[in-house]
Chain A
Amino acid sequence: MEVQKDARISAIDIAKHFGDKASGTLTPVLDGVSMNIQEGEFVVILGPSGCGKSTFLKILGGILPASSGKILIDGTDYGTQVPRELLKRFGFVFQNNNLLQWRTAAGNLKFMLETMRLKGEAWQGRVSEMLEVVGLQDYQDVYPHELSGGMRQRVGIARALVHDPDVLIMDQPMGALDAITRQMLTFELLDIWHKTQKTIIMVTNNVNEAIILGNRVFIFSQLPAKILQEIPIDIPFEERNHQVFSSPRFLELREKLNHHVRATLSLEEPA
């Protein structure tokens, strides 16, 4: 795939395997995944479980190196591993919130500022600011075990925003939530994206979420993951509200996405 010169992030031919041939444990997980992501875009990845979605996000977020391929950020080629100095520009929301249970909500946000050595009042101020963005301004001093699942997930999102990254990477941020909380948080995320203008890459297993949030949806194949489809979501931001579920365009897109998702579950690739 071609690198787009103006892309914020380009992932080109990313392949990843775990284990090695010698011990017979070689597992190819990603098989040449490429995408160009523009600044301010909301990209959604859909795919069957265990296909390598999290692995792909971890490579983009500098947690894992790729086995081959290259990652470009603002046009600079960093090879297979995003370097440490650049990690400040990313915020990572983990699949199971991954909060530090020994720190309060505010403490979890401060963890980011401490490790990234972001000092001063302005940064400290962002702690309560970001908790306010996710509606938890009154829960600053509460430990994760005292919060509900939805609240924990929100702290996870606030934590990924507190150091003001350019890019937000979210791995099934609403995975473990009940349907109602999930839909509420989906619209909150849309709002956060609109307000903060971040570039967002999100994995989900929910087609509705993909349509409400995404500018483009990528559908991954089964293990080892390849991109099967890239589907633009042409619903304007103003129309993405609770009424959208009954709009013809939404239903059409949902049908289309569902069709492709179903296709990944059979062994053959869709025609």
Chain B
Amino acid sequence: MKKKSIRKKKGIDWMSIIPPWILLAIIFAVWEIAAKTTGISEYILPPMSKIIHGVITKFPGELLPHFLLTVRVIVLGFIFATILGISLAAIFSQFNIITKAVTPVIIWLVITPMITLIPLMTLWLGYDPVLRTYVVILQATPIIALNTLNGFVNVDNDKVELAKSVGCTRMQRFTKIVFMNAMPQVFTGIKLGSIFSTIAALSADIVSGNAGLGFKISQFTKYNNVYMSYGTIFLVGLIGLTLYKIIERIERRVVLWKN
């Protein structure tokens, strides 16, 4: 009998798809009922049906350009941050002393809300939509670098000895052992990076004004259009969730092993 590799089953894994949808339906239902029965003002708790209806009707006309802008800022910033974060971690990890020196600085940068820099950056760079992409890069790179670096410097001594036993070059050791060994942490970093990118882009919209979904949220709120504020907030969550899921898909394709 031939023994084939036990790959993950093709087909759809309903058990991980259905439960979140059911939960979402329950949350929406409870929200709807609460909004209609508790007598809480519509300005605080608009009915879910109104929120969804509002977003769907206003999406093609009013929201679409802002949606596209914000998505572009998130995706571009996120891609650059991923490349930059992994590259920086790869360089830092080559030298023990540099790793030790930069780690607290990276943590410091992770914690810093980069939107606080927008007024300053506007001073230097003037008004420029690209500014928001910089903010995303600044916000997402450190968290990606931190996780990746962690993976790059924590290699089993056994694996290092295997590399030594075959006389690996520095480059071979990095590409064939260190990088592969760190792959799960690299993906953790990238996934966190996607979340940070979404938050940063939205905050940048709010601070910069003029355009973007964040700007729309503050505008809707200003004009007491509460259900549209909620709806746009959900829309942003949907963008982040989609990005996260795409990366998870890629991860499942790449990381076929168990540690």
A interface residues, Cβ below 8 angstroms from B: 58, 61-63, 84-85, 87-88, 90, 92, 94, 96, 98, 100-104, 111-112, 114-116, 138-139, 141-146
Contacts and interface: CB of A to CB of B under 8 A. Distances in A.
Nearest to B158: A98
A63 B164 contact: yes
B168 interface: yes
Contacts of A96: 158
Interface in B200-259: 255-259
Contact of B162 (A84, A94, A114): A94
Given A144-B257, A145-B258, A98 B167 contact: no
B167 A63 contact: no
A90 B166 CA distance: 8
Interface stretch (B30-38, B42-50, B125-133, B174-182): B174-182
A33 B166 CA distance: 24
A115 B168 contact: yes
Contacts of B57: none
Interface in B1-21: 1-6
Contacts of B6: 142, 146
B258 A101 contact: yes
B84 interface: no
B172 interface: yes
Contacts of B158: 94, 96, 98
Given A98-B158, A115-B172, A141 B166 contact: no
B53 interface: no
A87 B3 contact: no
A62 B163 CA distance: 11
B165 interface: yes
A210 B256 CA distance: 38
A163 to B, nearest CB: 8
Given A101-B258, A142-B6, A143-B257, A92 B165 contact: yes
A63 B258 contact: no
Contact of A115 (B4, B166, B259): B166
A103 B172 CA distance: 15
Contacts of A90: 165
21 contacts: A63-B161, A85-B167, A87-B165, A88-B167, A90-B165, A94-B161, A94-B162, A100-B159, A100-B177, A100-B180, A101-B257, A102-B256, A111-B166, A114-B172, A115-B166, A115-B167, A116-B166, A141-B4, A141-B5, A142-B5, A143-B258
In the complex, which of the residues B159, B167, B176, B255 has the most CB atoms of chain A within 10 Å of its own CB atom?
A: B167
A90 B165 CA distance: 8
A84 B173 CA distance: 14
A101 B166 contact: no
Contacts of B1: 138
A129 to B, nearest CB: 18
Contact of A102 (B161, B166, B183): B183
A112 B161 contact: no
Nearest to B5: A141
A146 B1 CA distance: 17
A139 B6 CA distance: 10
Given A115-B167, A116-B166, 6 more contacts: A63-B164, A98-B161, A103-B257, A142-B3, A143-B5, A146-B5
Question: What are the nearest 9 A-B pairs in CB distance?
Answer: A84-B167, A87-B167, A145-B258, A141-B5, A92-B165, A63-B164, A138-B3, A101-B257, A102-B180
Contacts of A87: 165-167
Nearest to A92: B165
A101 B259 contact: yes
A141 B257 CA distance: 12
A173 B6 CA distance: 26
Nearest to A115: B166
Interface string B148-171: 000000000011011111111000
In the complex, which of the residues B159, B163, B165 has the most CB atoms of chain A within 10 Å of its own CB atom?
A: B165
A59 B191 CA distance: 42
B170 to A, nearest CB: 12
A145 to B, nearest CB: 4
Contacts of B164: 62-63
B258 to A, nearest CB: 4
A84 B168 CA distance: 9
A62 B256 contact: no
Nearest to B254: A102
A150 B160 CA distance: 23
A130 to B, nearest CB: 15
A143 B256 contact: yes
A109 to B, nearest CB: 12
Nearest to A61: B165
